[in-house]
Structure 1
Amino acid sequence: MTTPEHPSPASQAPEAKDRVHRSSAGIASGVMLLALAGWLGIDAVVVGHGRTPWLALAGLLLVVPLVVAYTIRPAIFVNEDRLRVRNPLRVIVLPWGTVAGLRSGYSNEVITVSGTKYQLWALPVSLRARKRAARQQARAVAAGGQEGGLLGTPGTGAGRTEPPRAQTDKAMDDLKQLRDDRCTEESAQGEVTVRWAYEVIAPAVAGAVLLAILAATG
C-alpha cells in the first residue's frame, strides 16, 4: 500500500515529498491481533481476581508494543535523496549514494556499500503472489502464442505489455530504478544512520520485567 507523506510545515528548508510503502496484510493482521489482545486483557482486568488483573496488565504492556512493531509500524519512506526504512525495532536512513543494491529472495533487503544488509519489513515477500503472477504470465504467453500463429509474433510493437509481477516485486523494481537514477547525485550522498525504536523497546521491556516480578513473587 502506497500513500503520500507531506513534509512538516515547520521545516525551514523544503523537502522532497515521500512515497510510503506499507504492508496492507500486516496492518490488517495487526489490527485483528490488537483487538483480540484488548478484548482478552481488558476482560481479565475487569472481572479477574487476585493477581490476574496485574498479570493481564503486564501481558498487555509486553504484547501490544510488539504487535504494533511487527505489523503496523513497518514502513518505507522514499524520495529522490534517500531511503528511510522503519523496521520493527530500528529506523535506518540510507542516502541513495550509500546503497549498493536491493535484493529480493525469500525476503527483500537493501545492501549498503559497506556490505551491511537491512531487511525491508514493510515489503514482505509473498511466494503465493509470485506464483499467481507466474501463472498469469504463462497464460498470457500461451494466449500470445496462439494469436502469433495467426497474426505473427506476439508481444512486439506498440501493443506490447509488461509481464505481470507481484506487488512487492514491482515496488522493489521501482526502488532499484530510483537508486540507479539517483545514487551519483550530490544531494543523495551522506552517511547511513540507525536509530533504535526505544518507544517500542521500553514498554515491552517494562512489561517483561513486571511479568518476571509477578512470577517470582507468586
Structure 2
Amino acid sequence: MTTPDHQSPAPQSPVPAAKDRIYRSPMALLGGVLLLAIVGWLGVDALIKGHDRTPWLALAGLILVVPLVTAFTLRPAVFAGDDRLRVRNPFRVITLPWGQIASLRSGYSNEVVTKSGAKYQLWAIPVSLRARKKATRQQTRADAQARAGGATGGPGNHLGVGGLRGSAVPDGPPRAETDKIMDELRGLLEDREQAETAQGEVTVRWAYEIAAPAVAGAILLAILRATG
C-alpha cells in the first residue's frame, strides 16, 4: 500500500463574527419592569373582580398601555457592530452602515446624523444633565487638589491631599456614563467608516408589532367610552 506524499490540509472552521456591542438604559429597564408589574396587577385585578363594563375597559387599557410602556422603556437599544449601527427606538428600527454616518452628536439628547442630513435620536442612550454636572464637580475638585498639591510640594511632590501617593492627579477627566458610550461609538465610526463592508444604504423599519396593539387598544377604549 502506498502512502500519499502530501496530505490535504484540514478544513478550517470559519471565524465567528464579532458580537455587537449592546447599549441600553438600566434605569429605563428597571422603570419599565416596575410599571408593567403595576399595570398588570391593576389590570388583572379589574378583569377578575370588575363588574359591568369594568373588565372590558381594563382589557382595552391593558392593550393600549402595555405596548406603550414596553416601547419607551424595555425596547430601546443600540447595537454597534463592525459594519453598522442599529438603533432600536420605540417605534422604529434604523440600520445605519458606518459609511453613511456623518457624526454622533451630543447635546440635550444623543443623536446620529447621516451624510444625507437625516437625524435619529438614540433613545437607549439618554443624556443625563445631572451626571454631567456631577462629573464637572469631580473635575473641579480634582483640579483644586492638583493645584493645592503643586503649591505645597512643588513639581516633584508625589503626595496628594491627605498624604496619599498619587491621589492628586486622576487618570483622566471624569465623564458621564452616556458621554463615555458616545465616545466609544465615535471611535468605532472613525475606525470603520472607510471599511468596504461598512457601506450601504440606511434602512428604516416601523415597529408595527408595537404600534398595532396600541392603536387597537385605543380604538377599543374609544368605542367603549363612546357607547357608555
CA distance in 2, matches of 1:153, 1:30: 53
1:9 aligned partner: none
- Within the candidate set 23, 32, 35, 1:33 is matched to 35
Q: CA deviation at 1:76?
A: 0.4
Aligned partner of 2:90: which letter?
Answer: P
- Please give the residue correspondences for 1:125-140 in structure 2 after superposition, counting only pairs within 5 Å: 125-140=127-142
Task: Structure 2: give runs of 5+ residues left out of the alignment.
Answer: 1-13, 158-168
Q: Does 1:194 align with 2:197?
A: no
CA distance in 1, matches of 2:213, 2:123: 21
- Please give the residue correspondences for 1:34-183 in structure 2 after superposition, counting only pairs within 5 Å: 34-149=36-151, 150-152=153-155, 161-183=171-193
Distance 1:212-1:127 versus aligned 2 partners, 3 A rule: same
Aligned partner of 2:155: which letter?
Answer: G
Q: CA deviation at 1:197?
A: 0.5
Aligned partner of 1:17: which letter?
Answer: K
- Within the candidate set 190, 203, 223, 1:213 is matched to 223
What's the secondary structure of 1:122's corresponding residue?
Answer: coil
Q: CA deviation at 1:79?
A: 1.2
TM-score, normalization by structure 1:
0.89
TM-score, normalization by structure 2:
0.86
Q: Deviations over 1:20-57 (max 9, x none)?
A: 00000001111111111111111111111000000000
CA distance in 2, matches of 1:86, 1:126: 20
Q: CA deviation at 1:160?
A: 6.2
**Number of residue pairs the alignment of both structures matches:** 203
CA distance in 1, matches of 2:135, 2:184: 17
Q: CA RMSD in A?
A: 1.7
Identity %: 66
Q: Deviations over 1:102-143 (max 9, x none)?
A: 110100000000000000000001111101111111111111
What's the secondary structure of 1:161's corresponding residue?
Answer: coil
What's the secondary structure of 2:72's corresponding residue?
Answer: helix
Q: Deviations over 1:1-22 (max 9, x none)?
A: xxxxxxxxxxx99533101000
CA distance in 1, matches of 2:132, 2:195: 33
CA distance in 2, matches of 1:160, 1:43: 54
What's the secondary structure of 1:92's corresponding residue?
Answer: strand
- Within the candidate set 184, 206, 213, 1:203 is matched to 213
Greater gyration radius: 2
What's the secondary structure of 1:145's corresponding residue?
Answer: helix
CA distance in 2, matches of 1:31, 1:107: 24
**Structure 1 runs of 4+ with >3 Å offset:** 12-15
